[in-house]
Amino acid sequence: EKGGYDYFMLKEIAEQPKAVSDTLLGRIDASGSLSLDEIRIPAHVLREADKIVVVACGTAFHAGLIAKYAIEHWTRIPCEVELASEFRYRDPILDQRTLVVAISQSGETMDTLMALRHAREQGARVLAICNTNGSTIPRESDAVLYTHAGPEVAVASTKAFLTQVVACYLVALYLGQVRGTQWGDEIRAVIRDLAQISGAVERVLETMEPVRELARSLAHKNTVLFLGRHVGHPVALEGALKLKELAYMHAEGFAAGELKHGPIALIEEDLPVVVVVPSPRGRSVLHDKIVSNIQEIRARGARTIVIAEEGDEAVVPYADHLVRIPATPTLLQPMVATVPLQVFACELATARGNEVDQPRNLAKSVTVE
Ligand code: M6R
DSSP 239-302: HHHHHHHHH--EEEEEEGGGGGGTGGGG--TT-EEEEEPPPSSSSHHHHHHHHHHHHHHHHTT-
The reported pTM is 0.97
Report pLDDT for 365: 86
Is pLDDT at 178 greater than 90 in this prediction? no
Q: Is the CB of 156 under 6 A from ligand 1?
A: yes
Helix (H, G, I), strand (E, B) or coil at 111: helix
Rounded Cα distance between 193 and 277, Å, is: 20
Q: Is 364 a catalytic residue?
A: yes
d(CA 246, CA 231): 23
Question: What does the buried/exposed string (b/e) look like for 152-166 if buried means 16 or more CB atoms within 10 Å of the residue's CB?
Answer: bebbbbbbbbbbbbb
Helix, strand, coil percent values for the chain (each to nearest 5): 50, 15, 35
Cα separation, 57 vs 350, whole angstroms: 25
What's the average model confidence in pLDDT over 317-323? 98
154 lines ligand 1 (CB under 6 A): no
Name the residue of 109, 141, 168, 342 whose CB sits within 8 Å of the most ligand 1 atoms, as the mutation to test its pocket. 109
Q: What angle do CA 130, 239, 104 make, to 5 degrees?
A: 10
Query: pLDDT band for position 41 (50/70/90)?
Result: confident
349 lines ligand 1 (CB under 6 A): no
The SS3 assignment for 223 reads strand
Residue 258 Cα to ligand 1 midpoint, Å, equals: 26
The response to whether residue 109 sits with its C-beta less than 6 Å from ligand 1 reads: yes
Do β-strands 303-309 and 321-325 pair in parallel, antiparallel, or remain unpaired?
Answer: parallel
In the reported structure, the alpha carbon of residue 121 is separated from the centroid of ligand 1 by a whole-number distance in angstroms of: 25
How high is the pLDDT of residue 181? 67
The pick from 7, 54, 57, 242 for probing ligand 1's pocket by mutation, whose C-beta has the most ligand atoms within 8 angstroms, reads: 57
Rounded CA separation 64/235 (Å): 11
Q: Compute the distance between CA of residue 164 and CA of residue 147 in angstroms, rounded to an integer.
A: 6
Paired sense of beta strands 51-56 and 79-83, if any: parallel
Q: Give CA–CA dist 358/365, Å, rounded.
A: 12
Q: How far apart are the first and last CA of the chain?
A: 32
Q: Give tens-digit pLDDT for 236-258.
A: 999 999 999 999 999 999 999 99
Over the stretch 98-122, which tens digit does the pLDDT of each residue have? 999 999 999 999 999 999 999 999 9
Q: Using CA atoms, how far apart are residues 54 and 322, in angstroms rounded to an integer?
A: 34
Rounded to whole angstroms, the Cα distance separating 308 from 178 reads 35
Distance between CA atoms of 153 and 104, rounded to whole angstroms? 14
CA of 52 to the centre of ligand 1 (A): 21
Per-residue pLDDT of 265-313, as tens digits, reads 999 999 999 999 999 987 788 999 999 999 999 999 999 999 999 999 9
* Residue 323: predicted pLDDT: 98
Write down the mean pLDDT value for the chain.
94
Residue nearest to atom 16 of ligand 1 (CA): 156
Question: Which amino acid appears at position 338 of this protein?
Answer: T
Q: Is 116 helix (H, G, I), strand (E, B) or coil?
A: helix
Nearest in space to 272 (alpha carbons), one of 228, 220, 225, 320: 225
Annotated catalytic residue, options 2, 51, 244, 364: 364
Query: Is the CB of 104 inside a 6 Å radius of any atom of ligand 1?
Result: yes
What tens digit of pLDDT does each residue of 120-164 get?
Answer: 999 999 999 999 999 999 999 999 999 999 999 999 999 999 999
ipTM: 0.99
The CB of 240 under 6 Å from ligand 1? The reply is: no
Q: Rounded to the nearest whole angstrom, what is the distance from the C-alpha of residue 55 to the centroid of ligand 1?
A: 12
Q: Distances from the Cα of 122 to the Cαs of 74, 93, 97, 111, in angstroms?
A: 27, 9, 11, 17
Mutate to test the pocket of ligand 1, among 7, 54, 59, 101 (most ligand atoms within 8 A of CB): 59
- For ligand 1, say whether the CB of 21 is within 6 Å of any of its atoms: no
The atom of ligand 1 lying closest to the CA of 106 is 1
